[in-house]
């Protein structure tokens, strides 16, 4: 399993996941850049994701949905704020309505993804920044930490 650690920091209102992947940064980057590849790992196995649109460019918009075991769909959106290929992605991630459009753009997490070269491949760090303690608690109640860990753990097979 590539996940090295997850750290919840209630003072900083962050959740940070660190993973070591046995592939060069450019190959890991492809898993973020390509909508088809992103759909293969973004959701945990029990709630797989499907990206309907995905623009990994500054100001780019993405729309996705995750499908639960009973067929329920949870829709989400991204707005990409920073892209420095293949080292840095920043995006806002929030809930979407039935039409796939954001319910409330201010009700989002700001995510920072960094890739760094290591002797064995790439260290990926994902840090989710929460708006406030209430949002952090809500995402915790939705098992965000476990879901993200399960999702990232699918990357090894895609990189092999």
Tell me the pLDDT tens digit for each residue of 132-150.
999 999 999 888 999 999 9
pLDDT digits (tens, 9 = 90+) for 87-129: 999 999 999 999 999 999 999 999 999 999 999 899 999 999 9
Give the angle 80-50-26 at the CA atoms, nearest 5°: 55
d(CA 62, CA 136): 22
CB 132 within 8 A of CB 10: no
Domains in the chain, ordered, with CATH?
Answer: 3-150 (3.30.530.20)
Q: What is the pLDDT of residue 52?
A: 96
**Which strand (E) or helix (H) includes residue 111?**
strand 108-118
The Cα–Cα gap between 20 and 54 comes to 25
Q: In DSSP terms, which residues pair with 124 in a beta bridge?
A: 19, 115
Q: pTM score, two decimals?
A: 0.94
């Amino acid at each position: 399993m590539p996940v090295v650690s997850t750290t919840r920091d209630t003072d900083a209102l962050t959740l940070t996941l660190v993973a070591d992947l046995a592939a060069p940064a450019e190959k890991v980057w492809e898993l973020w850049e390509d909508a088809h590849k992103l759909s293969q790992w973004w959701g945990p196995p029990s709630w797989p994701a499907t990206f309907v649109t995905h623009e990994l460019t500054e100001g780019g918009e993405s729309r996705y949905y995750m499908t639960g075991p009973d067929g329920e769909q949870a829709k989400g959106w991204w707005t990409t704020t920073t892209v420095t290929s293949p080292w840095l992605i920043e995006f806002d991630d929030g809930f979407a309505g039935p039409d796939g459009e954001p319910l409330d753009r201010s009700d989002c997490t700001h995510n920072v993804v960094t890739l760094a070269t290591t002797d064995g491949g790439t260290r990926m760090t994902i840090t989710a920044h929460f708006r406030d303690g209430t949002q952090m608690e809500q995402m915790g109640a939705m098992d965000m930490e476990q879901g993200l860990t399960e999702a990232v753990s699918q990357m090894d097979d895609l990189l092999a």
